[in-house]
Amino acid sequence: MPRAKAAQLIESKGGKVTSSISYKTDYLIAGEKAGSKLSKARSLGITILSEKEFLEMIGDIN
């Protein structure tokens, strides 16, 4: 799923999308090439979701 589509879904459900990871971050949706944000999220104990888990969470499974 393109990043813009995920952001649109999150915002339509009242969520906030940010470009950085911090202790205030609740979730990271990680793709195959997550990189340094994935490492930072893990070090901060942030819940990491796959695209499938994200879609299940927001109830947008087609």
pLDDT digits (tens, 9 = 90+) for 3-48: 899 999 999 999 999 989 999 999 999 988 878 899 999 999 999 9
The residue among 62 and 2 whose pLDDT is bigger is: 2
8 Å CB contact between 10 and 16:
yes
Angle, vertex CA 30, rays to CA 29 and CA 33, nearest 5: 150
- pLDDT of res. 61: 61
Instruction: For residue 49, give its domain range.
Output: 3-58
CATH number at residue 22: 3.40.50.10190
- pLDDT of res. 33: 81
Tokens of 62: 């087609």
Backbone angles phi, psi at 56, to 5 degrees: -65, -40
Domain total of the chain: 1
Q: Map tokens 């990043």 to a residue.
A: 3
